[in-house]
């Protein structure tokens, strides 16, 4: 259930092909099938980062598992260049936050993951 959310003031057009690239990368780094991956890129009118309103982003990767000190190194190395390309921003213009969710914190099809029917 990896969920990658991006808030940005970048005006770069994001294509379905670019989202597919990002989805495949997330599948690879999390080891989870793309059928579970969701991506949201939301435009925000006003953002300020590092003393500037130049194009920036705030990203968050949430997942049940596959988030931790060693995994996050791989996520960062893989996702950073893709975000830079998609949003046309430099790597020093955004953060990626990582959130490890418990199975009972996420539901799908009306059931929490800790209590999914077989």
Residues carrying an active site annotation? 2
* DSSP-assigned letters across all residues of 46-95: ---BTTB-SS-EEEEEEEES--SHHHHHHHHHHHHHHHHHHHT--GGGEE
For residues 59 and 42, the answer to whether their CB atoms sit within 8 Å is no
Q: CA nearest 86: which of 8, 18, 4? A: 18
């Amino acid at each position: 259930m990896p969920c990658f959310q991006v808030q940005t003031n970048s005006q770069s057009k994001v294509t379905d092909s670019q989202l597919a690239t990002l989805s495949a990368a997330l599948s690879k780094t999390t080891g989870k099938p793309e059928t579970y991956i969701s991506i949201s890129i939301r435009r925000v009118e006003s953002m300020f980062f590092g003393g500037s309103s130049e194009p920036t982003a705030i990203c968050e990767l949430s997942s049940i598992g596959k988030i931790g000190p060693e995994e996050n190194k791989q996520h960062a190395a893989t996702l950073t260049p893709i975000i830079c390309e998609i949003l046309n921003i430099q790597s020093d213009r955004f953060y990626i936050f990582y959130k490890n969710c418990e199975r009972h914190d996420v539901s799908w099809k009306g059931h929490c993951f800790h209590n999914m029917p077989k």
